[in-house]
A and B are shown apart, each in its own frame.
Chain A
Amino acid sequence: MICLSKQDTALLARCRDDDPTAFDEIVLRYKQKIFQYILRMVGDADEAEDLTQEVFVKTYLSISNFRSQSSLNTWLYRIAGNLCIDAHRKRSRKDAALGATVVSLDDNRPDSAGASDDSTPGKEAPDSRYEPYEVLQRRELDSQIQLALSRLPEKMRSVVVLHDLEGLPYEDIAAIVDCPIGTVKSRLFNARVQLRDSLKQYLEA
């Protein structure tokens, strides 16, 4: 982590010196993480890509103002989180105007190849993930997870995505969402309990 921070510091210094390759490196390093986070927050791949680009546009334009009081990682996630909140508000206004509630699901996920290590250690066949039934079942669960995430309050969703999907430590999350660590922990606990309740029938099956 310290090593990463040092690399980020060096990258930022190069950016301030107008090194054209430095910003490319930042994008290369963070685009997938930020995209993933936004995708789980908004639930739509196209919107997530659009917002991810917006994060980097904002970063590019304001990088000279960045004062290194937080890590680059934290800063990027914070910009992303704020954009997600703005997008959510716009969507809510639009939905209210239409008089309908729209829950968008992520149906454009690539196949789960390489997504995780063997998640079913008890099974004999290592390729069971690729069997049609398994794939369908997993996709159904993924959709339900995304649906359950979208039903969480914004603040809880942000914390659970950052912790359980992005793997960030409590301290970083506290800096990103701008609240004490104790609040992060309680939001995470409540989010997990709500997700468990929403996914009960799928996880027990």
Chain B
Amino acid sequence: MKLTKCKDIRPKISDYIDSALASDEMWAVQLHMSVCPECAQFAASISKTVNALKQLPATTPSANFDRSLASRIQAAIAAGKTRASAPWLVRTCRGFASKLSPKSATSGTGLRLSAPIALATALIGVLALMNQPNPPSLTVAPRATVDAGFTAACVHQNQTYVSGQPFADQSALALLQRQTDEGIQHASNGLLGSGKI
């Protein structure tokens, strides 16, 4: 144990006064002070300061402290800050939080805040829905009905294509031929009229 220099001893003097040093350190400080009047003087002045602090008179709160405190607690309860009004909520949130994330639940602060917020948000959402005069319906509206005849015609046409008879429907073939003839006639008229042929 080498505590022979003043700069080593000074920081220990506070602990020395409190008898908070190990016995060998206590002895070393004492030994140093016996040969160093500056450090001894320093220790004495610190000790005097500590004694002055300890002699500060004890003070007590006023006589109506308890009554006033009771009023404040009641006011806090009335303001909804109470533990009494919703201890179940705190417990529920805590349980909910620990189920969500055991790691976070043990580490604490974040989840302690986030779980109540999540629960409160959910509650507000449910209450808002309940208070709506016309709550939105969750049933699906039927789509517009499709002409059953058109559907049947499509099915029939599809079957004719699949069976390798694209023009099995004679009426459709006649219609197609008529449109083609008219188209050719119309095109010829156009070309002749323009004098290109």
Contact = CB atoms under 8 A, between A and B. Distances in A.
Contacts of A61: 76, 81-83
Interface stretch (B26-34, B45-53, B95-103, B138-146): B45-53
Contact of A35 (B15, B48, B61, B81): B61
Interface stretch (B67-75, B127-135, B176-184): B67-75
Contacts of B13: 189
* Chain B interface category by residue count: 35 or more
A106 B58 CA distance: 12
A56 B69 contact: yes
A34 to B, nearest CB: 9
Contacts of B72: 53-54, 57
Interface string A61-79: 1111100000000000000
B20 A170 contact: yes
B174 interface: no
A128 interface: no
B14 interface: yes
A31 B65 contact: yes
Interface in B1-23: 11, 13-15, 18, 20
B59 A35 contact: yes
Interface residues of A, number: 49
A199 B61 contact: no
A60 B68 contact: no
A45 B49 contact: no
Nearest to A55: B69
B66 A116 contact: no
A52 B53 CA distance: 21
Contacts of B81: 61
A196 B43 CA distance: 11
B49 A109 contact: no
Nearest to A188: B14
Nearest to B112: A65
A195 B55 CA distance: 15
A199 B46 contact: no
A102 interface: no
Contact of A192 (B14, B57, B60): B14
B54 interface: yes
Interface of A: 18, 27, 31-32, 35-36, 39-40, 45, 49, 52-54, 56-57, 60-65, 106, 109-112, 114-116, 119, 141-142, 145, 160, 163-165, 170, 185-186, 188-189, 192-193, 195-196, 199-200, 203
Interface of B: 11, 13-15, 18, 20, 45-46, 48-50, 52-62, 65-66, 68-69, 72-73, 76, 81-84, 87, 90, 112
5 contacts: A60-B76, A61-B81, A145-B56, A164-B54, A189-B13
